[in-house]
Structure 1
């Protein structure tokens, strides 16, 4: 059995989860930033991980999931090499308006535009990413233990 595929899967998962933790930390760091003088405010970010499909694979209505599985079955090595496609995108939410008439950046009605970051959502995202990262580390350690035991059995035979 080739354990490098198992290690590659776990490593790809750890990369995605590390990125999710970094983005959640960035969002939390900018939770209380105000809209700048130029009118732009911080947009919360989201990590989107998608499976990379081979050139001929598509999830159209005619084939659906079965066609994806059959087209990717012979191309597993290429899919493992590529890993998931990870993008960081802006959430596109409106700023959170807070009434602070004495603030230097308040508008004519006395409202200040803050980044619309929900700290509870970001903390949950960070905790779930940390747990998923730990699960990938555990899977990699299990595969490593199995490989070492297989080598021990082979050397004792």
Structure 2
């Protein structure tokens, strides 16, 4: 059995989850930043994972069956960071230097609760990928031990 596929899948998952944690941390760090009208308001970011292979489960099964002799590695996700299209949060602060003519200041539309949940779920998923990789490594080492004694 080729364990490099299991390692590659876990590594791709860890890359996606690490990016999700990084993006959530950036969004939380910029949740209360204010910029003037020329530069615009910070737009929250989102980590988007996409695959280039078959989109449906049936497509994945068909692709696996067609490649049955070699059973190739499934399409791994590529993660990109994109700006979310979220309206800024308007706060009434007439004394603020960046307030508009009506006294409102535009803050980024970052929802702290959503970002914290994203960070926690990404951390748990990262830990699950580490556990899967460690299990595959242990299985590979045990297979070598068994194969070496015969």
TM-score with structure 1 setting the length = 0.86
1:106–1:27 Cα change, 3 Å: same
Q: 1:65 to 1:79 in 2, by over 3 A?
A: closer
Matched, 1:128 2:121: yes
Q: Which runs of 5+ in 1 are unaligned?
A: none
RMSD, aligned CA: 1.8
Q: Which residue of 2 aligns with 1:69?
A: 61
Check the 8 A contact 2:51/2:78 in 1, yes or no. yes
Q: Post-superposition shift, 1:40?
A: 0.9
4+ residue stretches of structure 1 with deviation over 3 A? 71-76
Q: 1:100 to 1:127 in 2, by over 3 A?
A: same
Q: After the TM superposition, which residues 63-142 of structure 1 pair with which residues of structure 2 at under 5 Å, given as runs?
A: 65-71=57-63, 73-74=65-66, 77=72, 79-80=74-75, 83-142=76-135
Q: CA deviation at 1:44?
A: 0.5
Residue of structure 2 equivalent to 1:43: 43
Native 8 Å contact 2:5 2:73 kept in 1 = no
Other-structure match for 1:143: 136
Cα separation, 1, equivalents of 2:52 and 2:65: 13
Q: Paired residues, what number? A: 147
Aligned equivalents of 1:128, 1:6: Cα separation in 2: 22
- Change in Cα spacing, 1:73 to 1:28, as seen in structure 2 (3 Å) is farther
TM-score, normalised to structure 2, is 0.89
Structure 2, unmatched stretches of 5+, are: none
